[in-house]
Chain A
């Protein structure tokens, strides 16, 4: 079981994965029920569950979750629509790369959260501003990573396509894009994960709904149970979206595994 790179069986994998969560909740329970941490700093698991039910029943938390998911997905899809064609062009044509690469590399390091005050000035505190934060946080990352992926497609495959009569358009459509598709899907999965951190920051500042907003409200009331539950919900949604992405990749690109 502890040989380098030796695979473990499916059952062992599930048990080990669950074991971590059991240990985690166990440590949390000892710290809180055992009275080692005052309840104002950290609620115990039972309180958290009670607060969670309270959130759904009294504060319509399901609506907050839906709003947050909508913002992440909306901003992320917009970013992908803009970034994918640009990234592919940049990876394909060295001239486009020379033109865009310096700016995109610079823009990539601009922290999306630092734009929030500016975006509030420009777009108010409505949905547009939230979507823009996600958009700015994601778009440059996707462009750059897609460009690198497309640019590193095996040259001999491109050459083979040329000797089979493909022209430049065919090379892009029938070689570069399909060859990098699994990696592009992986990039999108990764960036979607980052988009989740941007949305919460956007909701912490100037928002009246969403998971982030609930967390700020709970902080004012020192309700650590609700804060922890909010964080756990975000983690769970991330887990589900990751799982969906991976399942979709397996279905879409059976050739890249096997």
Chain B
């Protein structure tokens, strides 16, 4: 089942009237199926964040269509979009974006609380996720009291807590050391299997990307190429490395040791 479909997507920053415009995305097509774990890679400035924000309905495209779960996003009002995001989408950001005044548990609960779900359900869901992600010991701490990896896992739990149809992550491992990155990615893969959730993640890191089922490469706002994972992750990693190098990125020889 197709969960997300982007057709003919373009994004132009700036106003024509003011003269300075920048075409960040050009005629981009993208299809994602239910339960897929998809990575997006590309050089800096290629439009990855832009794409993710448009898919996440935070920004509107200049032209083109986005269908999520059979609904055309363009026809929704701002309030409908907010409701849609709250119910059907989950976000993980590079900067974690946890609220400092809230404990980790409260942070994770925010989407459910805004939804005004029953309390018993909330508690059960948080405990389940926290245990799964290994942060059940630090739930009552506030973000600055825990490590970066724990923070990012809390952010992931927040993105997952309301069982969204689609999870969007922008460089979720960007601020983590390799060990934390590895354990976060493994958790995400397992959740992806267990809850049948669909995950779309932007990353610079071939190692992180190697956890995906499929990696889409973007260059200058267009899809450059796309590769699928075979049996071995190591081989997939090598493939990703090759494309990255072809795209003009730096090489990741050293990263091999991380397996």
Asked if chains A and B come from one complex, the reply is no
